[in-house]
Amino acid sequence: MKISLIYGGKSAEHDISILTAFSIIKEVYYKYYEVQPIYITKAGQWIKGPVLTEPVTNHEQLKFKFNDETTNDQQLSGVEIQPTSLKEEDAVIFPVLHGPNGEDGTVQGLFEVINMPYVGTGVLASACGMDKIISKYLFQQAGIPQVPYVAVLKNEWLRDEEQVFMRCEGSLLYPMFVKPANMGSSVGITKAENRFELISAIKTALKYDRRIVVEQGIEAREIEVAVLGNADVHTSVPGEIVKSVDFYDYDSKYLTNDVQLQIPALVPDSVSAQLREYAAAAFEVLDGSGLSRCDFFVTANDEIFINEVNTMPGFTQFSMYPLLWENTGLSYGDLVEELIQLALRRFEERQAYQMKSDE
């Protein structure tokens, strides 16, 4: 079977996606699969590289050159394709695109239209999980505790900044964290200790999205749980991000590796069980499938607040998601294999539903 591995993309998380693709390529079971890498440039061009029957040696090789581009010697050549050409027999799509146009339901809609099996959550779960405002509404319906927050639209900010300040300062205390509603990997997130910093934080977040979230900052540990499955939901042991900085930002995650991961997290068994229960509930209320990583805050009093659900967590060498499963008893290679099988089973289920509707 062929694995069509799609990575890169037009989002701010382009480089993260390439690192994730490289990590997966190193762990695929080539005895059973060949890998068709498909690189989406920052300009949105889809470039098909050579079929791989063994791993590449450097992630830079995955930035395929095409036409008459001047590139470094490590890069491989590719050909530009149309996204619809992904449809082929005996293949499964494995998208590792992060952020907008990758895990927000847009590319998943393409896979649905061309009727191909693909790894990860579907259109609805991807869109809702990516959108921090919509996901908060759903978590509230599911009864999962959250920190206080204020949703802000760009038009509201441009129309009346003072009104936005009144809403934020009227219901939240400093420090506050300001986040784009549809961005991941801590891109565009800023901590604000006062109104001056809040102004700057809002302006920064609005560079990435027209909808943002202002959240109450709390003293808490950041603990994450990995989720795997379709209707049969499985959760990993919790893992903690032990930070040497105020919050786990983009540089800490992918460039400087300034954080340490404690797996399993040192929490009471009752807290661990509750975290896993909330993670499964969040996955289900989003209509998740395949995989997700649920991020939580846990206070000194063992209060639990859900932060967000990432429907396409990173698979880099520093990433929490595969490490959580490794510490739960599932190796990286077996995790990749399980995700492929989950994608195929979900596709077969959808096909069966379609046949019933056609009768």
Distance CA 307, CA 275 (A): 12
For residue 83, what is the DSSP state? G
80 has binding-site annotation: no
185 has binding-site annotation: yes
Judged by DSSP in three states, 310 sits in: strand
Q: Which of 126, 185, 252, 292 is catalytic?
A: 185
Q: Which of 4, 13, 240, 338 is catalytic?
A: 13
Which are the contacts of 54, defined by CB distance < 8 A and separation ≥ 6?
Answer: 30
Per the annotation, the verdict on 331 as an active-site residue is: no
Per the annotation, the verdict on 169 as an active-site residue is: no
Alpha carbon of 302 to those of 239, 266, 273, 297: distances in Å? Answer: 15, 11, 12, 9
329 has binding-site annotation: no
186 has binding-site annotation: yes
295 has binding-site annotation: yes
Distance CA 322, CA 304 (A): 23
132 has binding-site annotation: yes
Q: Tokens for 350?
A: 């959808």
219 has binding-site annotation: yes
178 has binding-site annotation: yes
218 has binding-site annotation: yes
Per the annotation, the verdict on 185 as an active-site residue is: yes
CB atoms closer than 10 angstroms to residue 269: 7
Q: Tokens for 270?
A: 């009752």
215 has binding-site annotation: yes
Nearest to 82 by CA among 43, 46, 134: 46
222 has binding-site annotation: yes
179 has binding-site annotation: yes
Q: Which of 4, 126, 319, 338 is catalytic?
A: 319
Give bridge partners of residue 292 from the DSSP assignment: 227
Judged by DSSP in three states, 76 sits in: coil
DSSP H helix total and E strand total for the chain = 11, 15
Give bridge partners of residue 291 from the DSSP assignment: 228
Q: Which residue ranges are tagged as binding site for Mg(2+)?
A: 295, 308, 310
Known binding-site residues for ATP equal 132, 177-179, 185-186, 215-222, 307-308
Active site residues: 13, 185, 319
